[in-house]
Each structure stands twice: as structure tokens, then as C-alpha cells.
Structure 1
Amino acid sequence: MRHIIAVFILCIMMSGGISEKIVFANPQPVIVIHIKGEIDGGQAALVKRAMVDAESKQAKAILVEMDTFGGLVDSAVQIRDMISQTPIETICYIKNRAWSAGALIAIAHQHIAIAPGGSIGAAEPIPTTEKTIAAVKAEFSATANQKGRNVKVAEAMVDKTLGFPGYAQPGQILALADYQAIQVGYADLSAADRSDVLKYYGLADYEILDYQLGTQEKLAGWLTDSTVKSLLLSVIFLAIFAEIKTAGMGVAAVIGLFAALLFFGSQWLTGVAGWLELMLFISGIFLILVELYVPGFGFWGISGIGCIALSLFLTLGGNMAAVTMLSFSLVIAIIAFLAILKFLPSSRLWTKIILNEVETVQAGFTSSHDYSSYLDREGIVVSLLRPAGVIEIDGVHLDVVSEGQYIEPGMKVKVVSVNGSRILVRRV
């Protein structure tokens, strides 16, 4: 019985030692990023978060599971850059499709696996202008060349005038099915699920860490929508106009700062905005405050607006698209500001927050005492008039001014003029 117990304990120790060796044999995790649906700023924020964790955890590999019809080119380029620049091994697993912007992200990986029935390509940009086609085609071509893939295939995915022999005629945009992608070297294998992909690349025994869209990334995706960004910019400009008009920190300033927080926060999450852009914006706000409280003949205010405009321009990409969005938002802000100046004073909202009653003389209000009853009356000087001083009329002390000369106390004077609270006297 003792022998049986000893053998049993020995087996437990051995199994514990073996499992311990397995755990520590592959301590590096495999980061799995799920990109599903439209490519936008939220997806870029997700990839950025996963990339930061992958580097801090010294991940063995990054596996991107993709199923997308495409999306925003600028967000796809951001993701492409992050994937291309990481020193960690990258694998893209196309579960169903990687079209348009998704195709650019896929070919940025070192390895590509595709599910049976999956497809990649169909990346013709919208709007389909010569300029946009040339720009996107260059991105695809450079990415394919960097990863050692056939450049002609990547270009045919964007420019339908090229075609690719055996797969797409000139005039047809190139999209590859799973087996075709393998034939042209745009996929290493066809895999039914993730486990097959991990096994093929020797990653089956590694810890898996999944990264999916969270609330933070979803909010970033919504805030990076072009319409929302333009609206936030208009609110920022409108707040600046309002504060300059009112020369103070009021409700408009709070609303503007909140809009700026949303704008820069979303761009920070997606990796677009850095410290330079943020510091320029803060400097611009500071300079505008200096203009409000320190006379500078407009120098501080103009410098502040310039810093803010430059920070927004750089955050939006520093290109013509950024100029277009800034110009459009500025025009909207100017129209809204002029409309507020014209219609707000007569609106119901304005009458509720602004006091409309006027304290008039007809209503019995006066700004000072009425001294007109003392006109042509005489009094005695109480204190030296030089020329201002005090006199007494019927026991009432009055602050008066002489016509210019000094008048000694005890002298008799006469009130010759009353203008509001100013009483003019002359020596009798």
C-alpha cells in the first residue's frame, strides 16, 4: 500500500513539474485582434491599444482576425502603419472577407491565412477620381512591395483599368477568392478556424489574449466620423468667437473646451494627435486669455488663434483634406455666430435668461438724489472749498463745488447750478 501511495505522489509531482515546464516554456502570449465591420477610428484605437500591450508583454505574435467590407482610408492607413512598423510577427486571418480598406490592412501583415470561401481585394476608392485612385494605389503598391508580394496584384485591386491576367480583365476590379489568393501568393493557407492558423505557424501552445472593440473604442469611432469632427470644430470656433465678443470666460468657453476635449481625446485614442498638437492648442487658449486681460492690440489674440488653427490642421492630417474640413467648419461657425447675434436677443430663450426691466425716471427710479430744490438758496461754508467742500443749508450738509476760487469756512454762498449730484456755488 505504501508503494502505491509513493508512486501516486511521485506521479503528481512529475505531472506538476511537467505542467510547470509547459507554462514557462512559452511565456510570451499571442495577441488576437478582432476587426469586424466598418474600418474607422474605433478600429484604429483598438489596434493601437493591442499593439501597446503586445510590446509591453513581449508578445510572440499578433494575429488579426478580419471580416470587413472596408471603411475609411485614413483609418486603414493608420492601422497599416502600426502593423508594418511593429517588430512582432504579424498574421492576418481573413475569416470571410477583407475588401477595400481591409485589403490594405491584410497585405501589411507578414503572413496571411484565409478561410474557405473568403476573399480579398475590391479596393477601388470612393470617390473614384484620378487623384484618389493614384494615392490609394500607391499605398497598396508600397505595402505589397514591403512585404515581398506581387505589386501588380495589389495595384489591380485598386485600379480596374489594369486588370490581372487570368483573374481580372482590364475594366474589372480584382478580388481574389481563397484559392486564388493562395495561387498568387497573397495567402499562405486556407484555414477553417483560428486553431488551424495557430497550429500552422507553430503557435498552438501559446497563451491567447483577445482584443475586441470596447466602449472606449466605439466612442472613438463615433467621434472620428467626419461629420462629427466637423461639428466639434464648428463648436470650438463658435466658442472662440463668443468669448472674444463677450471678453470673458463664460458658458461658451466651457462648451468649447468640452468640444475640444472630445475632439483631441478621440484623435489621441486613434494615435493621430500627439503632444505637439495638444500643446499648440493649449498655448492658443492661453494666448487668447492674455489678449482678453492684457492690452496687446490684437497680437496675443491673433497668435492664439493661429496656434489653435495649426494644432487642428496637424491633428486632421496636415493635408488638403484638413484645410477643406477646417474651412467648412469655420464657415459654419461664422454663420451660426451671425445668426446668434441677430436672432438670439429677440428669442424666448433670451428673455428668460436676461433681465428686460428698465429703471426709468418715469417709473420712479433715479440714479442719485434730487438736489434741484436747493437751487438759488444760500448756505454757510463748513469746510474750505478748494474748490470742493461742504456747506450747510438749513442744517443739511451738502457736498458742493465752487466756481473755481477758494472760499473760507464761515462765508456765505449761494447755489447757482444743480446738475444731478453736482452742486455749484458762488460766494455771496
Structure 2
Amino acid sequence: MRHKVYQRVLLILIMSLLSLFTIDNRVSAEAGPVIGIAIKGEINAGQAALVRKAMADARSKQAQAVLVEIDTFGGLVDAAVSIRDMIIDSPVPTICYVKNRAWSAGALIAISHKHIAIAPGGSIGAAEPIPTTEKTVAAVKAEFAATANRTGRNPRVAEAMVDKSLGYPDYAEPGQILALTDYQAAKVGYADIVAPDREAVLANYGLTGIEVLEYTQGWQEKLAGMLSDPAVKSFLMSIIFLAVLTEIKTAGLGVAGLVGLGAALLFFGSQWITGIAGWLEIILFIGGIGLIILELYTPGAGVFGIIGIIAIFASLFLTLGANVAAVNMLAISLLIAIVLFIVLLKHLPSSKLWDRIILKDAETKGAGFSSSQDYSLYLGKTGITYTGLRPAGALIIEGVQLDVVSEGQFIEPNTLVKVVSITGNRIVVRPVHS
């Protein structure tokens, strides 16, 4: 009898010790606040930037948990995947509260949490991708299934949310996309509880009375969200390409370069805030620009320029996701840039805008000015290129070596060229085809 009493006492002690380290369906309650994040409206890079900021603060503030409230019809897949990765990798416990709906990309974010609560009348699922191609469906379905498996849920349910050909018994027939209501989500294990409000959610996980620090989008996150729109990103890339083409044509005028630099800062800055662009992409882009500048002012047989252009394309390709959609966006942006470049070449030099931005005043002899050397006597004369023009180089005219530039094209050494314009010390030449 005494032996049995000792066994019971020992069992009680063991259970008491275990209760200190494990909480049944509850989040560990250590010192610190709860971080509250509201994901509302379209999911974009701005939402990803907000989650990144909040997650970083959750670690530094030793938060007890992160509560993510979702009410969205969906949004950009790349932004949702970025948020999904941050939640899964978070060392701080996370709780998702579906206030009204978590559809499409929002469903992926929801199921990436270990704990899900859903409001009465809420729903989760309906994640068929657009465009609904075989490749896109397969990729998104795999992402959903892997996420569900990682968080201990039935992957078949997640797959049926993406691929309507599967269906799910008693909830969606084959040919119907799966979307779960509040009580259905709880029944199939995609929600822990149906909770009417935040207080009920916190109470369920043992966080009653804990301070909640709210995180909402500031101007940086809103700007990042706006710049993440595919149309805006395509426009910025077109401006970057146009600036590069213009700088090559004008041999370093500077105005186009500044405009292109501004577009690049907006493009990469927004992607940096969201964590999509890393140091590799930015270094590739800056290195590519540097190589193109090097090609313009040093004879490099075109090697520096080619490598620079490849580096720029690689940086943009990686930043856009390194997929077929990235290739399509790059192609469209480059085509727009080429069309705009042709239009500028044809109309800008004769426009009033060109007259306003280009300085027409000259320090002429008639006005009492004189220069150290007058190059006007070489206008219209021909000579032989001493070095390759890329587009800058050297020319020999009547035994005199001159520093000249081409009109943008590459000219090989020992080529007959003609001086077509002279502005101060800038001598522009053009090949003579005979």
C-alpha cells in the first residue's frame, strides 16, 4: 500500500514539472508583450515590410507571442511567400486570427502559423492562382502542402484550396475550389477555436491581460506596397533601361543618368525594405553600371560593356523572383524602353523642352571670349581613328592627335571618320562609308 502511495506522489510531481514546460494548446507565457500585426486589404510588399519590422521587434522585445490578424481577399504570391517564411522561421510563437476571411495568398499566410483562431462567419481557402496554368497551380499547390505539413495539418486540405480538380470529401466536389467556413476549419484542424474577438483568442492561449503592441503600416511600408505593383516595377525598369541607352548614346550627358539612378533607388529601395532584394542583387546592379561607364571611357573591345549589361539584367531578374514572370516583365520593360528611346532620338532634339534643358549660350569670339585652342577648323574634316572609339577615343587629323567621341556607336581603330560637330572641346565624329 505504501509503495502505491509513493508511486502516486511521484506521478504527481512528474506531471507538475511537465506542466511548467508544456502548455496544452497554449503559447508559452514569458515576460514581454504581445506583438499585434494587422494584415488587411491586398497583400503586397508593404505588408511584407510591416511583418519584417514587427518580427524583428518581437525578438528584441522578447515578446511572448505575435498575433497576426488577417482580413484579405489575397494579393501578390511573392509577398505572401516572404511573409510565410518569416512566420515559419520565427523563434517567437505566432497566432493567426482570421477576422473575416483569409483567401488566396492570405490562406498561405494563415496556415503558416502553428496556432489559428477564426471569427464566427470567417472563412479560409479559395487559393486558386491566377493565371491558372498547370505550372502555376503545381507550384502554389506544393507551397501550400509543404506549409501545412510543416505546421502539422493535413496537406490534402491545403492542396484542395489551390487545385479545384482534387476536391475534398464532404466539403468540395472535384471541380470546386475548397474554402472552409469557421466551423469547417475547426473540424478539419485548420483552426484551434472559433473566437468572437481578440480577447477570446488571447484568453485561449493563456495571454489574458498581456500588453499588445500594435503594428500598422507607416509611410515606408505604404510606399513599398505602391512600388511593388507589377505595373510600377515595369515602369521603373523601363526608365532604368532608357537611361542606360541614353547615356551610351550621349557619351555621358548626365541628365539621363540621374533620372535612371532615381528610378533604380526606388526600385531596389522598395525591394530592400521588404527583404526581396539582398546585397547580391544590389552589388550586381552597381557593378554593371560601373562596367558600362568603364567601357565608355576605356578601350575594352566591348567586353566590359557586355558584362555590365549582363550584370544589370541578372540583378533585375533575381530581384523579380528569377522565374518566367520575371523574364516576361524584363522583356516588356526593355521593349518599352527601346520604343521610348527611338521616339526621343527622333523628336526631342527639335522640341521646345530640349531648348529649355540644353544651354544654348556660347563663349564666342564675337562676344569677346577666347579659348586655349579653337577646334572649329576641324569641322567637316576627315581623319583616321588612332584608337577604338567606345565611344571616346583618339583621332589623327593632318598629323594632329585629337580626343574625340562617336555618336554612340563603337568604331574600330584605323577607320576613316568625319568630324560632324564641335561644342567647345567636345569633338563628335561619324564613320565615312566609301
TM-score higher than 0.5: yes
Counterparts of 1:238-317 in structure 2 under 5 Å? 238-317=242-321
Q: Which residue of 2 aligns with 1:119?
A: 123
Report how far residue 249 of structure 1 moved.
Answer: 4.9
CA contact (8 A) 1:27 1:206 kept: no
The counterpart of 1:349, out of the listed 338, 350, 353, is: 353
Give the aligned residue type for 1:293.
Answer: Y
Cα distance in 2, alignment partners of residues 358 and 202 from structure 1:
79
Counterparts of 1:190-205 in structure 2 under 5 Å? 190-205=194-209
Deviations 1:73-125 (A, max 9, x none): 11111111111111221110001110111001000000000011111111111
TM-score w.r.t. the length of structure 1 is 0.76
Give the aligned residue type for 1:238.
Answer: L
Q: Which residue of 1 aligns with 2:221?
A: 217
Q: Secondary structure at the match of 2:129?
A: coil
Q: Which residue of 2 aligns with 1:30?
A: 34
Q: Which residue of 2 aligns with 1:18?
A: none
Query: Is residue 96 of structure 2 the alignment partner of residue 92 of structure 1?
Result: yes
Report how far residue 38 of structure 1 moved.
Answer: 0.6
Give the aligned residue type for 1:303.
Answer: I
Give the aligned residue type for 2:124.
Answer: I
Q: Which residue of 2 aligns with 1:68?
A: 72
Change (3 A) 1:358 1:289: closer
Q: Which residue of 2 aligns with 1:149?
A: 153
Q: Which has the larger radius of gyration?
A: 1
Query: Is residue 188 of structure 2 the alignment partner of residue 176 of structure 1?
Result: no
TM-score w.r.t. the length of structure 2 is 0.75
Deviations 1:349-408 (A, max 9, x none): 224444779999xxxxxx99xxxxxxxxxxxxxxxxxxxxxxxxxxxxxxxxxxxxxxxx
Cα distance in 2, alignment partners of residues 191 and 218 from structure 1:
30
Cα distance in 1, alignment partners of residues 164 and 255 from structure 2:
53
Q: Which residue of 2 aligns with 1:409?
A: none
Q: Which residue of 2 aligns with 1:364?
A: none
Q: Secondary structure at the match of 1:339?
A: helix
Query: Is residue 206 of structure 2 the alignment partner of residue 189 of structure 1?
Result: no
Cα distance in 2, alignment partners of residues 355 and 275 from structure 1:
39
CA contact (8 A) 1:26 1:205 kept: no
Change (3 A) 1:249 1:300: farther
Deviations 1:173-202 (A, max 9, x none): 111111111000100001111111111101
Runs of 4+ in 1 over 6 A off after TM superposition: 355-360
Counterparts of 1:101-120 in structure 2 under 5 Å? 101-120=105-124
CA contact (8 A) 1:230 1:329 kept: yes
Give the aligned residue type for 1:134.
Answer: A
Deviations 1:283-311 (A, max 9, x none): 11222222222222222222222221111
CA contact (8 A) 2:31 2:62 kept: no
Change (3 A) 1:358 1:215: closer
Give the aligned residue type for 1:103.
Answer: A
CA contact (8 A) 1:26 1:206 kept: no
Report how far residue 276 of structure 1 moved.
Answer: 1.1
The counterpart of 1:324, out of the listed 328, 339, 353, is: 328
Cα distance in 1, alignment partners of residues 240 and 155 from structure 2:
44
Give the aligned residue type for 1:314.
Answer: L
Give the aligned residue type for 1:54.
Answer: A
- Which consecutive unaligned segments of at least 5 residues does structure 1 have? 1-24, 361-366, 369-428
Give the aligned residue type for 2:352.
Answer: R
Cα distance in 1, alignment partners of residues 30 and 206 from structure 2:
11
Cα distance in 2, alignment partners of residues 170 and 300 from structure 1:
56
Cα distance in 1, alignment partners of residues 173 and 252 from structure 2:
65
The number of equivalent residue pairs is: 341
Give the aligned residue type for 2:122.
Answer: G
Query: Is residue 237 of structure 2 the alignment partner of residue 233 of structure 1?
Result: yes
Cα distance in 2, alignment partners of residues 354 and 140 from structure 1:
56
